[in-house]
Amino acid sequence: MIHVAVFGYGTVGKGVVEVIDRNNDIVSAASGDKVSVKYILDLLDFPGDPNEAKIVHDVNVIISDPEVSIICETMGGTGAAYKFTKAALEQGKSVCSSNKELVAKHGAELMKVAKEHGCTYLFEASVGGGIPVLRTLTTALTAERITRIAGILNGTTNFILTKMEEEGAGFDETLKTAQELGYAESDPTADIEGHDTARKISILSDIMSGHFVDSDNVPTEGITKIDKSDIALASGAGFKIRLLGIGDRYDDDSVRTMVAPFLIEKGHPLAGVCDVFNAIFVTGNILGDTMYYGKGAGKLATASAVVADVIDAARKGSSTMYCGWDETPVKAADSSSAKSRYFVRVSEADAAKAKALFEASTDIGVSDGKAGFITGPVSDSAVEGLDKSVIENMIRIYE
Amino acid sequence: MIHVAVFGYGTVGKGVVEVIDRNNDIVSAASGDKVSVKYILDLLDFPGDPNEAKIVHDVNVIISDPEVSIICETMGGTGAAYKFTKAALEQGKSVCSSNKELVAKHGAELMKVAKEHGCTYLFEASVGGGIPVLRTLTTALTAERITRIAGILNGTTNFILTKMEEEGAGFDETLKTAQELGYAESDPTADIEGHDTARKISILSDIMSGHFVDSDNVPTEGITKIDKSDIALASGAGFKIRLLGIGDRYDDDSVRTMVAPFLIEKGHPLAGVCDVFNAIFVTGNILGDTMYYGKGAGKLATASAVVADVIDAARKGSSTMYCGWDETPVKAADSSSAKSRYFVRVSEADAAKAKALFEASTDIGVSDGKAGFITGPVSDSAVEGLDKSVIENMIRIYE
């Protein structure tokens, strides 16, 4: 019997218990022995819940139980989750996590602790929910030098951008719809300001580079400034707007990361990713482009990824580990001369004045009294120095 | 040092040598020791080739050399490739193959031989070229019961269908273009008649079901009957036409496979897969839909997948194996009552007569003197019994 404990009986924790229960024959067969949830750690009691008897409030009950070999950490945050994860690893218990915040901040250290104690720290569910992108990067694309990872990594913002386009609606009303449907939280800041995406692209960039990419250092721009006229103008010119997390790795092993909305040509596979779906586009030096698509969040998709890690931990014990990164900060690429083309939105009256700011520009039309044009390549430093008084919004073109 | 031999110095074999050479630092680091190609088996001599000195004509030189631990089989076919693969596995040498025909026919037996001799038989490159779908199915989606795999598995036909749509061109002229560009072979039968796709969907269905799915038993229809009017009519109604290989697994573990062109709604991720790209759509009972996208063929993409297998074989010796299937034939699903909706193309003059054959139908327009309509759900047996004298083409709707 493989005894599992779940830390945190929230949405994902409940999903983990449900997946282990519903697919127990498959999960047990793949693990090589029957898998069973012995404890659930939570502050609350859940009276009436079918798993009520498994709830414990003291983490030490679990950590001191030699029968428990695998922990699923679905608590979130970097406080208790960090302390409990470390304590479990130090007892030789493998930990499978969906906690992107903790992985982004302390992943390197926790993998090291796991290695020292003959167990493993896995976290497929922390990026891309049910999309097995970490395992793909570390076990399948092993013959490749990965040069770019670009992902639609947040379902909430992708839902909002898709709905704004489909319904010609504004940002605020669409956010409200997303909240009513349960696709956005009551405090949506982490999603709409891009922080959630920043954490995920740093984890992906950690793996790509082998070094620590601090999510606090990722230049991060969310989608709150996007107006329905941006989407209408972009659409008329053959583009969709998507919030991307991007990590670029250069020949000198420096890395540039960024979270920002981009205009993506409609023919590009990332442009076809709609609603709450996520997708990660990976470029290798030999393979070229590949893309991995699926549900990036949600109770069961995320739980399925956690349970796949449980199976891996059960199968291979300490011998499985995502290609770890170390705690050394990655070398940051000098991006001051990096150039991008931009979509620019201005009021019709200011179009001539705005266009004069750029060496080259191509009109793409007018919508709702707003004019749109696309600039030639402009460096980041030039953009910083621009007099933006008449510019209402600028969004990079993805290329 | 990890000594590798390559069987067959054709396009993929040359690619394998190139990947091991170009990315030697990455490949060696991932393998845990320096990887080097010691022999290349081919009937020809390749005078002047930089690897000329490694060419041998006698397989026994390789099989009897205890230094060689891993073979890359890129010969193709089921004759010598089968004999040589089996002989190598019997000597405990792991074999990494791109040979879909051999895997589809003898995969179960060869995995068994590998297991008996403490080595492994891997074949990521045999399906989807550079898309790591087999590894994903067997190492990442392990907590799932897979219920459907639907793939665009052949780059040649997808290129032809994409170009026919983009250029409003007919099948024959587009095939000729594809041949001139090197995207179709001079004898294109295996591609355009769907046989290549049938082999790949049988391998995927082998893995999904755990039993042998004979590619000769997959009902297979190619794209030769598709006319530019089909594409125009489908496009006008919001569909793209794609050649799919589909495997469906039912609750009683029976499996239904099929290769046929389908009309796919433009919003579906498979519809966005263009040109020579491939994509595999996988549905799990918990995770829902995921999709894996990339180059399905080509020298380097395929070679990169073979080399990823080499790394796996080097890292884990005999402990790595795709979740094998056995030689027992899978239980075939009874599909006589399965229903599909169809797109039907007829000459305008025959439209009324053709529509009278179906209980329900929806007109979708006229193009080049051809009328198109979409039927309600019709069973396979009803389609077989139809008087098709006025029907020019019928294509299933994907749903």
Whether A261 and A305 share a structural domain: no
| Residue A361 to residue A354: CA distance in whole angstroms | 10
Residue A216 has pLDDT above 90, yes or no: yes
Domain assignment of residue A155, yes or no: yes
Query: What's the confidence (pLDDT) of residue B130?
Result: 87
Residue of B123, B142, B307 to mutate when probing chain A, most A C-beta within 10 A:
B142
Query: What's the confidence (pLDDT) of residue A102?
Result: 97
Q: Does A17 touch chain B (CB under 8 A)?
A: no
Domain assignment of residue A263, yes or no: yes
Token pair listed for B362: 């929806």
Domain assignment of residue A327, yes or no: no
Per-residue pLDDT reduced to its tens digit, A254-283? 999 999 999 999 889 999 999 999 999 999
Q: Which of A14, A163, A200, A370 is catalytic?
A: A200
Q: For chain B, where are the E strands, in sequence order?
A: 2-7, 35-41, 55-56, 68-73, 94-97, 121-122, 146-152, 239-249, 255-265, 277-284, 288-295, 339-340, 342-347, 361-367, 370-375, 378-379, 391-397
Whether A46 and A151 share a structural domain: no
| Residue B70 to residue A288: CA distance in whole angstroms | 25
Query: What's the confidence (pLDDT) of residue A315?
Result: 87
Q: Which of B200, B228, B240, B295 is catalytic?
A: B200
Among B132, B136, B143, the residue with its CB nearest the CB of A26 is: B143
> Which whole-number Å values give the CA distances from A195 to A72, A157, A216, A264, A335, in the listed order?
24, 11, 9, 21, 21
| Residue B282 to residue B278: CA distance in whole angstroms | 13
The alpha-carbon gap from A302 to the nearest alpha carbon of chain B, in Å, equals: 8
Whether A159 and A84 share a structural domain: no
Tell me whether residues B143 and A300 touch, CB distance under 8 A: no
Residue of B290, B309, B322 to mutate when probing chain A, most A C-beta within 10 A:
B290
Token pair listed for B216: 């000769």
Per-residue pLDDT reduced to its tens digit, A169-208? 999 999 999 999 988 999 999 999 999 999 999 999 999 9
Q: Does B311 touch chain A (CB under 8 A)?
A: yes
Confidence tier at A323 by pLDDT (50, 70, 90): low
Of A274, A304, A331, A326, the closest CA to residue A131 belongs to: A304
The helix/strand/coil state of A94 is strand
Q: For B176-219, where are the E strands, in sequence order?
A: none
Question: What's the whole-number mean pLDDT along residues A68-77?
Answer: 97
Q: Within a 10 A sphere around the Cβ of A376, how many other Cβ atoms?
A: 12
Q: Which residues pair with B373 in a beta bridge?
A: B344, B363
| Residue B8 to residue B98: CA distance in whole angstroms | 11
Q: Which of A294, A327, A350 is the C-terminal boundary of a domain?
A: A294
| Chain B residue at shortest CA distance from A287 | B301
Domain assignment of residue A326, yes or no: no
Q: Does A151 touch chain B (CB under 8 A)?
A: no
Q: Does A64 touch chain B (CB under 8 A)?
A: no
Among A139, A290, A301, the residue with its CB nearest the CB of B131 is: A290
User: Phi, psi at residue B346, to the nearest 5°?
Assistant: -140, 165
Whether A17 and A153 share a structural domain: no
Query: What's the confidence (pLDDT) of residue B173?
Result: 96
Whether A170 and A283 share a structural domain: yes
Whether A255 and A312 share a structural domain: no
Q: Domain of B100: which CATH number?
A: 3.40.50.720
Whether A158 and A236 share a structural domain: yes
Domain assignment of residue B333, yes or no: no
Query: What's the confidence (pLDDT) of residue A130?
Result: 87
Tell me whether residues B142 and A287 touch, CB distance under 8 A: no
Whether A283 and A375 share a structural domain: no
Q: Does A276 touch chain B (CB under 8 A)?
A: no
| Residue B291 to residue B133: CA distance in whole angstroms | 9
For residues B152 and B244, is the Cβ–Cβ distance under 8 A?
Answer: yes
Q: Which of A319, A353, A387 is the C-terminal boundary of a domain?
A: A319
| Residue labelled with tokens 């327009």 | B365
CB pairs below 8 Å between A and B: how many? 157
Angle between helices B299-316 and B24-31 (to 10 degrees): 30
Tell me whether residues A274 and B288 touch, CB distance under 8 A: no
Confidence tier at A324 by pLDDT (50, 70, 90): confident
Domain assignment of residue A253, yes or no: yes
Domain assignment of residue A137, yes or no: no
At B159, the amino acid letter reads F
Q: Does B183 touch chain A (CB under 8 A)?
A: no
| Residue B202 to residue B205: CA distance in whole angstroms | 5
The alpha-carbon gap from A33 to the nearest alpha carbon of chain B, in Å, equals: 14
- Concerning whether A200 is annotated as a catalytic residue, the answer is yes
Mean pLDDT of chain A: 95
| Residue A36 to residue A68: CA distance in whole angstroms | 10
CA dihedral A157, A158, A162, A163 (to 10 degrees): -40
Q: Which residues of A touch B23 (CB under 8 A)?
A: 143-145, 285-286
- Can you say how many angstroms the Cα of residue B254 is from the centroid of all Cα atoms in its chain? 21
At B334, the amino acid letter reads D
Of B105, B147, B151, the closest CA to residue B128 belongs to: B151
Q: Does A286 touch chain B (CB under 8 A)?
A: yes
Tell me whether residues B136 and A135 touch, CB distance under 8 A: yes
Q: Which A residues, 128 through 147, put their C-beta within 8 Å of a C-beta on chain B?
A: 130-132, 135-136, 139-145
Whether A307 and A270 share a structural domain: no
- The pTM score is 0.93
| Residue B178 to residue B361: CA distance in whole angstroms | 35
Residue A317 has pLDDT above 70, yes or no: no
Q: Which residues of B touch A295 (CB under 8 A)?
A: 287-290
Separation of first and last alpha carbons in chain B:
51
- Can you say how many angstroms the Cα of residue A180 is from the centroid of all Cα atoms in its chain? 23
The helix/strand/coil state of A237 is coil
| Residue B46 to residue B38: CA distance in whole angstroms | 16
| Residue B72 to residue B74: CA distance in whole angstroms | 6
Provide the ipTM. 0.91
Q: Considering only CA atoms, give the Rg of chain A.
A: 23
Q: Which of A256, A284, A319 is the C-terminal boundary of a domain?
A: A319
Per-residue pLDDT reduced to its tens digit, A221-243? 999 999 999 999 999 999 999 99
Whether A182 and A234 share a structural domain: yes
| Residue A197 to residue A151: CA distance in whole angstroms | 9
Per-residue pLDDT reduced to its tens digit, B43-78? 999 999 999 999 999 999 999 999 999 999 999 999
B77 burial class (0-12, 13-18, 19+ CB within 10 angstroms)? exposed
For residues A378 and A342, is the Cβ–Cβ distance under 8 A?
Answer: yes
Q: Domain of A256: which CATH number?
A: 3.30.360.10
Whether A257 and A311 share a structural domain: no
Question: How many domains does the structure of chain A reveal?
Answer: 3
Whether B352 and B234 share a structural domain: no
Query: What's the confidence (pLDDT) of residue A336?
Result: 78
Domain assignment of residue B331, yes or no: no
Domain of B389, in residue numbers: 339-397
Query: What's the confidence (pLDDT) of residue A318?
Result: 57
pLDDT less than 50: residues of chain B:
none
